Amino acid sequence: MYDLKKGYETAKAFYAQYGIDVDRAIEIADKIPISMHCWQGDDVAGLEKKEDSSLTGGIQSTGNYPGKARNAEELRADIEEAMKYIPGVLKLNLHASYQEADTFVDRNEIEPKHFEKWVNWAVEKGIGLDFNPTYFSHPKGENGTLSCADEEIRKFWIEHGIRCRKIGQYFYEKTGKPCVINHWTPDGDKEIPIDTIGPRKRLKDSYDQIFEATKDVTGVIDGIESKVFGIGLESYTVGSHEFCMGYVMKANQDHIIMTLDTGHYHPTEVVSAKLASIYTFSDHVLLHVSRPVRWDSDHVVSFDDETKAIMEELVRLDKLQDTYIATDFFDGSINRIVAWVTGIRNTRKAILAALLQPVEKMKELEAANDVSARLAYKEEFRAAPFALVWDYYCSQQNKGAGLEWLDAVKKYEAKVLADRK
Ligand code: RNT
Ligand code: ZN
């Protein structure tokens, strides 16, 4: 490893030229919670005691890389291993399908006690828990869930949503940290249906019923997530962007917010361009940080232009603290811990890089209509010596500078993952 301290001092001097306080930026970036999704560890299979745990609902995890977690103990061990190399405050994001019951408990019957082990684990680690109803990978979801025309089935899923909000309150009470719940339903159609509004009216009614039945629940925030399409449901998505945005804005309740998944829009549409409009009307947003590639919305997060642009926009809007940042990707073709560490480190990287920009200066230039200088400033920072700051920060946090973590994960793979047949 090179002289990290020396590199850091050089970078500090670079940023100081523009009045940027690197230590302060690190302090802020370090404290922004990132909600680490549990589902990268087992390709979204879940822990329900049932024969068929195949993933349905228009999402897919491809690849068959050996060593995926087969039970809760292995999953927690893998999460802990990944956490060793991810700097900054983390929460853990669970799906309802990660219940731990001795026998099969259906989605409309889950209770806090089925998540007790996760809660004990989180309390021991001092981290918060977030949650997701699992409105997919279930035989009752074949013709839609919360928008299903069959009232019995729709009731089943409404009950699931209600139970999830109660479990969210339990997480809040036990961890002392608010629980951010994300509601996503895959409901849609392979072809354009004749009745495109009926399912949406039912979805609206289902959300209304879930929130009405749990209006006394505290400590829970609810994101409503849209999607452009899912595999097998290419032509029509009930919970489209317009639907979800309409629902959230009309609900006008502090705890109901929009979830923006960075993989859920048309290819030339970007989340970074949506944030200011939503923040004109809402106080909070839930982000699902992911990476779309052609048909897939869930590649490992990259330190790419759009991820950086999102964090830059949040800093410029002064909304970094008001945005719930969660990761959402699942790649089964590589070591799953490498996937987690890479994607979540990249998320944190983008946050820190965004804080190392002369935002005030650029705002001043813009206010003075000096758009030429604004461009020059913006471009100058694309090649700033950010890696020197990042390496130093990671080493200070004992999370491994550069690729130090990779060897450690490879050792874990040889020692632990290789035995999982
Ligand atoms: C699917 C949504 C959703 C899921 C998780 C597992 O397209 O992004 O958030 O990825 O709930
Ligand atoms: Zn998502």
Give the model confidence (pLDDT) of 93-106 as tens digits. Answer: 999 999 999 999 99
Best residue for ligand 1 mutational test, from 37, 184, 259, 297 (most atoms within 8 Å of Cβ): 184
CB neighbours of 354 closer than 8 A, spacing ≥ 6? 308, 311, 312, 314, 315, 320
Greatest distance between any 2 Cα atoms in the chain: 66
Secondary element (H or E) of residue 183: strand 179-183
Best residue for ligand 1 mutational test, from 233, 286, 288 (most atoms within 8 Å of Cβ): 288
Cβ atoms of residues 114 and 105 within 8 Å? yes
Under-70 pLDDT residues of the chain: none
Instruction: Output the pLDDT for position 52.
Output: 87
Give the residue numbers annotated as catalytic, written as ranges. 184, 225, 227, 261, 264, 288, 296, 298, 328
From the alpha carbon of 132, which atom of ligand 1 is closest? 11
Query: Ligand 1 pocket: which residues have CB below 6 Å?
Result: 39, 44, 59, 132, 182, 184, 225, 227, 261, 288, 297, 328
Calculate the alpha carbon distances from 278 to 35, 246, 320, 359, 415 in Å. 21, 11, 14, 21, 47
- What's the token pair of residue 396? 């200070």
Instruction: Output the pLDDT for position 51.
Output: 86
Instruction: Output the pLDDT for position 48.
Output: 97
Residues with CB under 5 A from ligand 2 (ion): 261, 288, 328
Instruction: Output the pLDDT for position 53.
Output: 83
- What's the token pair of residue 160? 């699931």
Instruction: Output the pLDDT for position 421.
Output: 82
